[in-house]
Homo-oligomer: A and B are copies of this chain.
Amino acid sequence: MSPKTRMIEVRENILKQNDIAARALRQRFQDAEVFVVSMVSSPGAGKTALLEKILTVLRAQFRVAALVGDLATENDAVRLARSRAPVRQIITGTVCHLEAAMVQKALEEWKLNELDFLFIENVGNLVCPSSYDLGEDLRLVLMSVTEGEDKPLKYPTIFNSADVALVTKMDLAAAVEFDSVTTHCNIQAVRPGMAVFDVSAKSDSGMEEFLNFLRSRRAVRATATTRE
């Protein structure tokens, strides 16, 4: 067997194991009635800034917490601690994505039924995290206006694996001559019907609409769970 074929086989096994762990996580999240939102994007697309804003605003009304993944440093956990929400850093070392088992381990001692929202910020990588289910209810893919309008076309898998797209750093749109229409067309070309929010964590533009979307998605999930 060629190393390439073996690599594919071993990778499929890992993905299968990840799916099993993700299924267990999803059940645990559902039993605890916590709504779980994960975030994927390129490095520097603004996941942490957006998450700090989300935690700060939602904290007034909900019990919120976050896990943040990075290869190295606890910088993001330190930044997010300013929101006063509980935050735990997952250091992946050289692993280019979060896996369900890492999330399981990080949450081992957490009482999830004391939470309404849990956010999981993935490693900054627009390729590899797409294959790993983390048991989340909602996966957000972020792209900033500074990255260029063609990113959905060039990284279609991650847009396909996500539920919602966020176009971030809208406060810089004019400075970079951002073409919003082309971007939205590119997202719809890759994933027809995808919900898209244009936001700026700096100017707050679009944030209330997006936060209302999160609140309503959680409410719908809560109703569905009660009915079961």
> Which A residues are closer than 8 A to B by beta carbons?
3-4, 6-7, 10-11, 13-14, 17, 42-44, 70-73, 75, 94, 96, 123-128, 143-144, 146-148, 150-151, 153-157, 169, 172, 175-176
Residue from the list B7, B71, B125, B146 in contact with A156, Cβ < 8 A:
B71
Contacts of A72 in B (CB 8 A): 153-156
The smallest beta-carbon distance between A102 and chain B, in angstroms, is 12
Whether B3 and A157, one on each chain, are in contact in the complex, defined by CB atoms closer than 8 angstroms, is: no
Whether A96 and B154, one on each chain, are in contact in the complex, defined by CB atoms closer than 8 angstroms, is: no
Whether A73 and B128, one on each chain, are in contact in the complex, defined by CB atoms closer than 8 angstroms, is: no
Beyond known contacts A6-B10, A44-B144, A44-B147: 16 more, CB 8 A cutoff? A4-B14, A10-B10, A42-B124, A44-B143, A44-B148, A71-B157, A72-B153, A72-B156, A75-B150, A96-B125, A124-B154, A125-B128, A144-B146, A146-B146, A146-B172, A175-B175
Residue from the list B6, B124, B155, B175 in contact with A71, Cβ < 8 A:
B155
The smallest beta-carbon distance between A176 and chain B, in angstroms, is 7
Residue from the list B10, B13, B43 in contact with A155, Cβ < 8 A:
B43
Whether B94 and A157, one on each chain, are in contact in the complex, defined by CB atoms closer than 8 angstroms, is: yes
The smallest beta-carbon distance between A78 and chain B, in angstroms, is 11
